[in-house]
Amino acid sequence: MNAYSKTRVTVDTVDWTPIVAPINCNYFGLRNLEGAELLIRTSKDDPNTEDVLEAKEFEAVTASTAFVGEFTRFHQGETVLWVQATSGSGPVVATWVR
């Protein structure tokens, strides 16, 4: 199983694009390569979960690895975030580490 993966996602200003974990992992990072702000939500239909990732910025989320066994916070195939561009089309680059 891969211990490290990157995904590149094109986003737009109309639809919420899912950011999906390609591997089981405990670390997730999101880099906004667009020259404008990127909206991020943990629930695409709930504006109360919305935050802004500024142009060219990076956000990282980690979970404890102190558990014994195969515990992972983000599971392969799971939608972790939803993103939408405020202008342009990205891309957004996600980093995943087991």
**pLDDT value at residue 47:** 95
CA angle 57/41/10 to nearest 5° reads: 60
Residues 33-82: pLDDT tens digits?
988 899 999 999 999 999 999 998 999 887 766 555 567 788 899 999 99
- Asked if 91 and 17 count as a contact pair (C-beta separation under 8 A), the reply is no
Can you give the pLDDT at residue 74?
85
Task: Provide the sign of the torsion angle of the four alpha carbons 84, 77, 58, 89, taken in this order.
Answer: negative
Cis omega (within 30 of 0) on the bond before 91?
Answer: yes
pLDDT number for residue 62: 79
Helix (H, G, I), strand (E, B) or coil at 55: coil
Banded model confidence at residue 19, pLDDT cuts 50, 70, 90: very high
Can you tell me the distance from the alpha carbon of 54 to that of 36, in angstroms, rounded to the nearest whole number?
A: 7
Does this model's pTM top 0.95? My answer is: no
Relative to beta strand 38-41, strand 79-85 is antiparallel
**Mean pLDDT across the stretch 12-35?**
91
Q: Domains for the chain: give ranges and CATH numbers.
A: 4-97 (2.60.120)
